[in-house]
Amino acid sequence: MRELGYECLGEFGIPGRRYFRKGGDERTHQVHVFDAGDRENVIRHLALCDYLRSHEGTRDEYAALKRSLARRFPYDIEGYCDGKDRFVRALEARALACYDDSWDRLYLAARSVQRPREVSPLVEAGSVAAALLTEAGNVYVGVCIDTACSLGMCAERSAIAAMVTAGESRIRRIVAVMPDGRAGMPCGACRELMMQLDPAAREVEVLLDYESRRVARLGELVPEWWADARMAP
């Protein structure tokens, strides 16, 4: 961060969250950073953000409080943070009580293996990554393998292969992360494999947008399927 011109001003608000600022007192840019291994505090932050997305009244109340404190403490970050501490603690408790972290776990698991690389002059891998959650509660990840011919594999099918290798076949949720960090739609081949794996595959949840948590069931993405009769219980 320092190489990019940011200065670290310490930890404020949520423990473990470091505050970086660029632009001196004018604060033209600011970034909050967590250690990737600090799962507890990362989850607290994500739970709070998720709660604010879905509770407009609380979001507006928090925004009004922050504006008021910013006017009151324009150059006193500790005064600003202390002023919202009680509100944030109460909000955090409500957020954690109703938080489902499975989409965050899957997204972060996929990002952790998303490392674009050249395997050989003819093979590249890792530009797209996927993670899935099984009925048993286990997470499996995979990356895309791109070859000079048609022998490659999508990230979703790599994750599915890892799941099947481990002896499981029932998917609850799945996400594929594109090179730009956004969630992406599974291709036709990946949808087909998921449909063939499990008679209940239509209920698999596919994450379409990480920020808004927009989700579609596999059955919505494959409304008419050639093997419905054969897969019927």
Question: Are 77 and 136 in the same domain?
Answer: no
CA–CA dist 89, 109 (Å, integer): 28
Are 52 and 102 in contact by the 8 Å Cβ rule? The answer is: no
Question: Are 212 and 167 in the same domain?
Answer: yes
Domain's final residue, options 31, 65, 97 = 97
Question: Are 113 and 141 in the same domain?
Answer: yes
Question: Are 44 and 134 in the same domain?
Answer: no
Domain's final residue, options 65, 97, 129 = 97
Domain's final residue, options 36, 64, 97 = 97
The tens-digit pLDDT sequence of the chain (233 residues) is 778 888 887 886 667 788 888 877 666 787 888 887 787 888 888 899 889 989 999 999 999 999 999 999 988 878 988 999 999 999 999 999 999 889 999 999 999 999 999 999 999 999 999 999 999 999 999 999 999 998 999 999 999 999 999 999 999 999 999 999 999 999 999 999 999 999 999 999 999 999 889 999 999 999 999 999 999 87
| CATH number of 10's domain | 3.30.460.10
pLDDT for residue 27: 66
Question: Are 54 and 32 in the same domain?
Answer: yes
pLDDT for residue 46: 87
Question: Are 126 and 187 in the same domain?
Answer: yes
Q: How many domains does the chain have?
A: 2
Are 4 and 11 in contact by the 8 Å Cβ rule? The answer is: no
For residue 122, report the phi and psi dihedrals to the nearest 5 degrees.
Answer: -115, -5
| CATH number of 141's domain | 3.40.140.10
Task: Annotate 81-109 with DSSP letters as a single string.
Answer: HHHHHHHHHHHHHHHHHT---HHHHHHHH
Question: Are 159 and 192 in the same domain?
Answer: yes
Question: Are 111 and 93 in the same domain?
Answer: no
pLDDT for residue 26: 65
Question: Are 134 and 53 in the same domain?
Answer: no
Question: Are 195 and 83 in the same domain?
Answer: no
Question: Are 148 and 174 in the same domain?
Answer: yes
Instruction: Write the single-letter amino acid at 123.
Output: V
pLDDT for residue 36: 73
pLDDT for residue 232: 82
For residue 82, the enclosing domain spans 2-97
| Collapsed DSSP state (helix, strand, coil) of residue 33 | strand
pLDDT for residue 105: 92
Model pTM? 0.76
Question: Are 122 and 205 in the same domain?
Answer: yes
